[in-house]
Amino acid sequence: MSAAAIFLAAYVAGSIPTSWIAARYGAGIDLREHGSKNLGATNLYRVLGWKYAIPVGLFDAAKGAVPVVLLAPLAGSQRWMPLAVGVATILGHVYSVFMRFRGGKGVATAAGVLLALAPIPLAISVAVWALVLKLTGYVSLSSVTGALTFPVAAWLLHPDIYLLAVGVALALFIVYTHRANVRRLLSGTESRFGRRGEA
């Protein structure tokens, strides 16, 4: 299987619009027309609650982990291949080909990718994410902080230049996908977790 075919398969797998499917066929609504209109688990939670958000978040994480584990080995033993496959999957989630290149913000799918690549640094990032969420109540701030923590933890525990490069790139990408949230945080208008509003 060629590298191009593997990247395409990973992108398509990441593009599966889990939140949209759950909202459309579970509740009869188009998630793009509700809440923040974002196709991610946080907006799904705000609109429909935990019953929908938890399985969707887990599936989105699986979208990241499974291609890395199953597809990357088919392309050879290059150290960068699993990282590249993971990036393709995350891009699929954020820019879904099935949703006119709209999607979620990539946090859960990125977590799945990193779970397959570097579980201990990811665990540290998740701990930071949970702590910031508990202290502030902002999902966006905790997501950005957790993402920025990963490359630092990864470098300290696994000083691999490829993993560091991908960790930094993903952290910056997560900040980019949360740019509107960052603006609202700075202006004091961001919604806290558990309240309805923009996600």
The residue ranges of every structural domain in the chain are: 3-187
Residue 158 confidence (pLDDT) above 90: no
Give the start-end residues of each E strand in the chain.
Answer: none
- In terms of Cα–Cα distance, which of 55, 171, 166 is closest to 118? 166
Averaged pLDDT, 57-70: 96
pTM of the model: 0.88
Name the band, by pLDDT with cuts 50, 70 and 90, for residue 194.
Answer: low
Name the band, by pLDDT with cuts 50, 70 and 90, for residue 198.
Answer: very low
Question: Considering the chain, what is the average pLDDT of its residues?
Answer: 93
End-to-end CA distance of the chain: 39
Q: Write the CB contacts of 15 (distance below 8 Å, at least 6 apart in sequence).
A: 92, 93, 95, 96, 97, 98, 99, 103
